[in-house]
Amino acid sequence: MKLKSFSPWEDGFFDNPYPHFARLRESEPVHWSDAFDGWVITSYDLVKEVAISNLFSSDKLNLLFNRLSSAQQEAMSPMLENMRYWAIMLDGDAHKRIRTVLNKTFTASFSEGMRQRIEEICDGLIAEMQKKDSFDLVEDFAYPLPAILIASILGVPEDKVEWFKGVSGDISKVFNLASNPDPECAKKCLVAVMEITNFLKGILSKPEDLIEGTLAKSLVDSGLSENEIISTLTLMLVAGHETTTQLIVNGIYTLLNHPKEKESLINDFSLIESAVEEVLRYESPVQNIARVATSDYVLGGVEIKQGQKLVPFVNAANRDPKVFKNPDEFKIDRSPNKHLAFGFGKHLCTGAYLARMEGAISIKKLLQAFPNLRFAQEGQEVKWQRNVAFRQMESLMLKG
């Protein structure tokens, strides 16, 4: 029997998307959804096939903007300008040019250089939380941590960090526009992009002041143009802020809901890296990676037409029973665990090393500082956001 067209806006999808994905995967792993105006992909193998193939384009600028009116698009042109060189939106040689530089500069050792800074930021935030009876994990910890860290990476001075946190949050909302073209949100994104663009132009106008070892300095030395550098540094913010926030929040939330796993972790922190991998699989912060077919293609026996949109859900792939034994079980020592939370193929996340480090350091420090960490109220309801791009909650009230 043909399934009814899938819409994330119905039937409690955001509270628990996984039974919806299981139904789709079992009968139509390549499923046409009117709500997405595209093909929703839910099986591991097919999500991977789309991520690898050169026949699917990442050029999603049109997808993001064609739902806005032409007057709105005109008004948003500074944003389009900034997004023109976002690696995540580029194909072929244009992507390779930026990606090669990112691979050379944003290395594991570059990220390792941030370890001490991450620890300092965590300690500072935790010290403030310890003064409170209860706290919001999102607002008091998981939102500021990656923002302050990226501020350090970009060379934002201390006195501008508060400004930067706000701007970073507003820019991150850009991916919501594809599913919810809210003019207010679009306006906030635009203002934030213009502010960050001006700020980065200021930094780049004095190349002699750029500090050796910072990302901006490495990108300048790599020979990229000013527009490419501004684009790339802005993408770091968009791609690296709220995703990491959600890794930490989803991680703590899931551990609190699995007390045995939480205890095992507290008793043996050598499991922290593997626990972070399991959080990435079990509650993947990024839900899907959109693509556009550049030619006709048969995917899983279904004919995709040139120009059609595909929405491969990595969080559905990460619960595929063909790849993960008992996929709905949360097991901090799961092995193997080849999840797709960071994507796959050419666009595999360049920030994965840093994100894993941030996740591991912060979850460990939180559990060490608050061994009795619990929900602020028993039976507390969690409100997952109605956001198809990210698996995220706006707040998580806890007691230490």
Could you tell me which residues come within 8 angstroms of residue 389 by beta carbon, excluding any fewer than 6 positions away? 175, 176, 178, 179, 286, 287, 288
Exposed / middle / buried, residue 75 (Cβ in 10 Å: 0-12, 13-18, 19+): middle
Sign, CA dihedral 14-18-20-21, equals: positive
Chain centroid to CA 239: how far? 6
d(CA 173, CA 73): 16
Convert residues 340-379 into a mask of x (bound to ligand HEM by CB under 6 A) and - (unbound): -xxx---x-xxx--xx------------------------
Q: Which of 243, 226, 280 is nearest to 147 (CA)?
A: 243
- CB-nearer residue toward ligand HEM: 44 or 376: 44
Residues 83-112 binding ligand HEM (CB under 6 A) are 87-88, 99
Q: Which stretch binds ligand HEM (CB under 6 A): 128-136, 195-203, 259-267, 339-347?
A: 339-347
From 29, 240, 251, 327, residue interacting with ligand HEM (rule: CB under 6 A): 240
Part of the chain binding ligand HEM (CB under 6 A), chosen from 124-132, 180-188, 256-264, 281-289: 281-289
- In the region spanning residues 49 to 68, those forming contacts with ligand HEM, defined by CB under 6 A, are 51, 58
Give the residue with the Cβ less far from ligand HEM, 176 or 379.
176
287 binds ligand HEM (CB under 6 A): no
For ligand HEM, the closer of residues 210 and 363 by Cβ is 363
Residues 6+ apart with CB under 8 A from 89: 58, 59, 60, 61, 83
Tell the smallest beta-carbon distance from residue 196 to ligand HEM (Å).
Answer: 14
Q: How far is the CB of 342 from ligand HEM (least distance, A)?
A: 5
Query: Residue 327 CB: number of other CB atoms within 10 A?
Result: 19
Of 176, 174, 151, 177, residue with least CA distance to 162: 151
285 binds ligand HEM (CB under 6 A): yes
Return the H-helix or E-strand segment holding 298: strand 297-299
> What is the nearest approach in angstroms of ligand HEM to the Cβ of residue 335?
20
Residue pair 347/87 in contact by the 8 Å Cβ criterion: yes
Interface positions, 136-195, toward ligand HEM (CB under 6 A): none
Contacting residues toward ligand HEM, per CB under 6 A: 51, 58, 87-88, 99, 235-236, 239-240, 243-244, 247, 285-286, 289, 314, 341-343, 347, 349-351, 354-355
